[in-house]
Structure formats: structure tokens, C-alpha cells
Amino acid sequence: PLTLMGEGYPDVIEVRGEIYMPKKGFDKLNERARANDEKTFVNPRNAAAGSLRMLDARITAERPLEMCCYSVGLVEGGDLPNDHSAILEQLQQWGFRINSEMRVVDNVNGCLEYHDYLLAKRNSLPYDIDGIVYKVDNLDLQQQLGFTAKGPRWAIAHKFPAEEEITKLLGVDFQVGRTGAITPVARLEPVFVGGVTVSNATLHNRDEIKRLGVKVNDTVVVRRAGDVIPQVAKVVLERRGDDVIDIQFPERCPVCDSDVERVKIVKYNKGGRTEEEGAAYRCVGRLVCQAQLNQAIIHYASRKALDIDGLGEKIVEQLVGEGLVKSPADLYKLKFEDLHELEGFAELSAKNLLAAIADRKTVPLSKLVFALGIPDVGEETAKVLAEAFGSIDKIRRALPELLVHLPDVGREVANEITGFFADSHNAAVIDDLIAVGVNASDAGDIGAKYQGAITMAESIGRFNIPGVGPTTAENLAKHFNELAPLMDASADSLADIDKVSAKAAESVAEFFTSEDNRTKAHSLEQQLLDFGMHWSCEQREVAALPLDGLIYVVTGTLETMGRSDAKAKLQQLGAKVAGSVSKKTDCVVAGPGAGSKLTKAQALGVDVIDEAALIALLQQHDL
């Protein structure tokens, strides 16, 4: 509505929703396009998105678009109901469109019944849908549930079964990813499914090809749900002809001709270590493989890693394709002449890129660790490694038996980390980076909270000895205080220790009869001593950080720094940065465009500061 209807609305209200194009409007739009010999749209979603991107708003206004409200943002000078559904009903009274199919239910069964009802009605609706979003109705409960980095915990999508069509498999290409994983991609006879024309679909891996029994020239069923990558669901065997050809999975990398090996999955439990074959196949060429090199450099330069301004995918592909970059370290060896001669580079753009690369030689250790692309090591794990060890050197040397003592690092991740650093290709890359001057701005000693902080009981517990729980581990630690005498103890002597059962004593004695287990225990204890993390080492007093124990929320647009940078700096000062505002929130940093979080903070009386105050706070503590 150009003006709100009725009364009682706030002074300022931001209404959020989804713009879509009804089926009838879409058909009429294409009829008009065909009549004028213009290009038609493929589906209503593309038509709606294209209409909104028009530079001439008059053209957009002519398109048959509708907007359906689903929430509110900023609200000032007025109160709204405390239930999500009631807010939407209030918006309808003020002149906004809401979905007439919306329903409030009481439990999971109600959700499932509604799903079945709408699925049956799907094709008769005047617009396209691919599923439902369930939301917790009460706003207080929404606030308690909060948000993850990717979205709210109080809402979840339930997609409808995928749409399927039949087409022909013309051939198979093999793509190589950043980690070397080889993915077979089916080349299909183009078919319209799920609102788009599909000509490629994933076959996942060699095991999936075998499970499907699919061959080139087979007739296949292709499915696509929402924005999910299309996939081959099954083979129509009754249509198989005599011209089918077996799919040959490559024994050598299709990009660099290196060997292809099957990934091994190592698992640990109370029964010990087990190894099984994974589903993925991987090229072992690493940075020799141009496909892996492209992706490795793109990841290295990405915003969450080293954040090298101006080094996007196309430029990386150009540098790699010309042979100018064969390792991340080569970025720092680029000269003006190298760039100036490339297509698309002028004098200024070449100088700017070289300056941006040089500016990222010194970065926080956590960003450098993340940039290396260690399998299963995301931003948070990289931060843990940086905080615990303080240097690349110690992270490289850390044993898996030590790594498992860190928060959120399990056996599988620990082995991925040590395996990465043990690889000669990766070691050479890191050595080259150090040689060109790449270093951590915050490199230092072992984190204060880890010095002398790893107990013997924790170490015993991490060995996963059958029958040895936390209490038994604690009693063994009290009795021995060192691993060496524990390893040499007999089952009888162990059973004499208070609160150590005969079964646990036998398990411990049997565990240390293995020379491999003894070696790992000895190595762990020695490394704990070398790093100063051993229980016998002096503990450093952990100085309280300025914002220790305080909960901050960052919302809106920050003009001087990004929200992620603000979050990182607040965390450096000891603050916990949450995704939603609650009664426990101590402070909200609000930039322009702050919405419901700011409103909630004001309603709860939470302190609110702007970006200038945040910068002053950071400068006060030399950040």
C-alpha cells in the first residue's frame, strides 16, 4: 500500500516479505513478449528477479508482481503483538498482503498434516512453491532460540518431494575440486525440470555410479528440488538400448594425470582405531593439478581467509593459466610487468593488486591457518588452533594425541590436521610462504589458558581405553602423576588402586602392551613438556580480558569496518558475540539500518552504542 490503512501503526515500521510473480501473470508476460518478438522468461522466479533488476522502475511497475509479507524489521514508536502470526494479521489490517494458506498448529504432527495438505494443493495454487517454512510463533521463544551463523534456530524449511523428468545421459565429465575430490558430472539431453532447463547433473562418486548401474546413452530420471544441484535418481532399464557404454571412472586425474586414490576414513572409539574406505576418490597431484591450484588460490585469497582485495576467481584463473602462480607463495613474487601484460590489466589496476597482495603478508594467525585449506578446519577451528599454539611451527608439530585436547577437535579432525602438515607438498607450500615473508601478526607463545593446563586424567581419557571412564582416569592420575610408571604397571598392581576395578585395570595393562600405544603416550607426554602444556608445568595466570563474560550483539551496517571484523575484535577483548538480543545481552553495537535487534535492545533497556563508540572502545585497548 502507498499509505497504511486503519490506525494504531508505529511511527516507523520496516515490513519484510517476498516478491513473486503469479502463474497467470507470468503467462501473460510471456504472451506479450512473444507478440513483440522479445525473449521469453524460463520460469516465474527468473521473471520476478529480472523485473526487480530493471534499471527503469517504470518497466518494473508494469510487471505483474506481488509481495507477500513474512516478518517485520525495524519498529519505532509503537507496539506489536508478541506472536509472529498476530503480527502478520495486523499487517494485513494495515493493507499488506499475507499468505492466505498460513496456519498455526500446535505440534509436530500438525506441521506434518499441514505439509501433506499443502502438497496435495500445490499444483492448484496460483504461484509456484517448493516447500514450507515452519516458524516458532512466540517472539520470546524466538529470542531464546536465537540464530546460528547461517540463519534462525526458530525456523526451518520442509521441502516438497523433488520434481522429476526423464531424459538421456549423453556422457560423463569428471571435475576436480579444491581438495582433489573427483566428481562425475552427467551431461544430459536438456530437459525442463523444477523450473529450469537442466543439461548437467551430479553422479556424486564411483559408488553412486555402481549403485545406479547407469551407463552412457541410458534413459534416466533426473530430479531437482528448489535450488539443489540436479541429480540422476535412477535408470529406466526398460528403455535401455544396445548402444549403452560403461562409464569408466578415471584411474588418473583428468586434469594433471596424477594418480587417483580412494579416500580412507579413520575412526576411533573404545574398541580402538578402525579404517574403512570412503566414497570419495581424490587426485594426489595437489598444487601440481591446475584444478586444485585454482581453487586453493581462490580459497587463500577469499574474504574469510587472507582477504586479498581485487584477487577474484577470474584473475586467479588467469594467473594460474599463464603459469605465473603455481603456489600461494608465488602471489608475493608477482611483478608489475607480469600483471601489466595480462588482458584486462591497466597500470593502476596492476599496481593496486600488487599493493593489496603485499598488504596481506602479515595477518592474524587464525586467518593464515584457515587460508591453508586444511580439510575439516573452518574459521572456528582455525581460531582454536591459533589461540592454543600461538605459531604455525607448533601447529605443524602438534601430535593428534595433543590436538584432541582442544575444544571441538575430535580424532578425525586431529588426524586431518596432522596428515595435512605431514604431506610433503603442503610442507613445501608453508615453507615457501615463510620464505617470502608471510607471517602472523599475533604470533606468540602457547595460549595462557593452555599452559600447564592439560591434566593427566584428561590424557588418559583421550586414549579411549575400554572400561576407563573419567573417575577411573582421575584415580589413576592421582596415583601415578606421570604416564611412564602407569604404562609399566601390571594389571594386579592397578587393581589395588582405590576405585579402579579389576576390569579397568586389565584394560589399561593390555592397552599399554601395544608398542604403538606406548610410543604415542611417550611422545604425547614429551610434547606436552616441550610446549609447556604438561600438568607439571607452571600455569600462567590468565589475565582477565576487558570484556570477559560480556555478551555483545552487532547489527546494522558498519561503515568503517565490517561486522565480521567488529566481531573478531570484540572477541579479542573477551566478549561473546551473539546473534540475537536477549535479557542476557550486555551491549548492542548498532549501525545504520539496524532493525528488530535494535528495537528489542531498546525495549529491554540494553546498552546501545554506535560505530564511533565501538571504535573508541577498541582504540582504548590498542585494537
Write the pLDDT tens digit of every residue in 590-613: 988 787 788 888 888 899 999 999
Q: Looking up cell 586414490, which residue turns up?
A: 261
Hey, what's the cell of 329? Answer: 607463495
Which superfamily does 551-620 belong to?
BRCT domain (3.40.50.10190)
The predicted pLDDT at position 230 comes to 87
The three-state secondary structure class of 28 is helix
Residues 444 and 526: their CA atoms lie apart, in Å, by 21
Q: What's 127's DSSP letter?
A: S
- Angle, vertex CA 602, rays to CA 601 and CA 604, nearest 5: 65
Residues 178 and 373: their CA atoms lie apart, in Å, by 9
Regions in the chain scoring below 50 on pLDDT: none
Q: Looking up cell 586424567, which residue turns up?
A: 457
The highest-level CATH class for domain 12-159 is alpha beta
The predicted pLDDT at position 27 comes to 92
Q: Between 3.40.50.300, 1.10.10.10, 1.10.150.20, 3.10.129.10, what CATH number should domain 287-359 receive?
A: 1.10.150.20
Residues 190 and 168: their CA atoms lie apart, in Å, by 8
For the stretch 546-571, what's the b/e string if a residue is b when 16 or more beta carbons lie within 10 angstroms of its beta carbon?
ebeebbbbbbbebeebeeeebbbbbe
The predicted pLDDT at position 267 comes to 64
User: How far apart, in Å, do the first and last CA atoms of the chain sit?
Assistant: 47
Q: Tell me the CATH number for domain 450-531.
A: 1.10.150.20
Phi, psi angles (nearest 5°) of residue 85: -65, -40
Residues 211 and 184: their CA atoms lie apart, in Å, by 14
pTM (two decimals): 0.67
Residues 6+ apart with CB under 8 A from 498: 475
Alpha helices in 361-423 (DSSP H): 365-371, 379-389, 392-397, 400-403, 411-422
Identity of residue 38: E
Residues 6+ apart with CB under 8 A from 214: 169, 186, 203, 220, 232, 235, 247
Residues 423 and 435: their CA atoms lie apart, in Å, by 18
Residues 507 and 585: their CA atoms lie apart, in Å, by 48
Say if 12-159 and 287-359 have the same CATH topology: no
For residue 537, how many other CB atoms are within 10 A of its CB?
16
Q: Where are the domains of the chain?
A: 12-159, 163-239, 287-359, 365-444, 450-531, 551-620
Q: Between 3.40.50.150, 1.20.210.10, 1.50.40.10, 2.40.50.140, what CATH number should domain 163-239 receive?
A: 2.40.50.140
Q: For strand 155-159 and strand 131-135, is the pairing parallel, antiparallel, or unpaired?
A: antiparallel
Residues 84 and 99: their CA atoms lie apart, in Å, by 13
Q: Tell me the CATH number for domain 365-444.
A: 1.10.150.20
Residues 368 and 250: their CA atoms lie apart, in Å, by 34
Taking phi over 0 as left and psi of -120 to 50 as alpha, with beta for the rest, 433 belongs to alpha
Is the distance from CB of 141 to CB of 135 less than 8 angstroms? no
Comparing CA positions, the residue from 283, 264, 284 lying closest to residue 275 is: 264
Residues 6+ apart with CB under 8 A from 513: none
Comparing CA positions, the residue from 244, 410, 438 lying closest to residue 333 is: 438
Write 292-298 long-range contacts (CB < 8 A, 24+): 292/176, 292/177, 292/178, 292/179, 292/180, 292/255, 293/320, 293/325, 293/326, 293/327, 294/320, 295/177, 295/178, 296/178, 296/328, 296/373, 297/325, 297/328, 297/331, 298/178
- Residue 583, burial from CB neighbour count under 10 angstroms (0-12, 13-18, 19+): exposed
Residues 420 and 385: their CA atoms lie apart, in Å, by 14
Is the distance from CB of 602 to CB of 555 less than 8 angstroms? no
Residues 167 and 159: their CA atoms lie apart, in Å, by 24
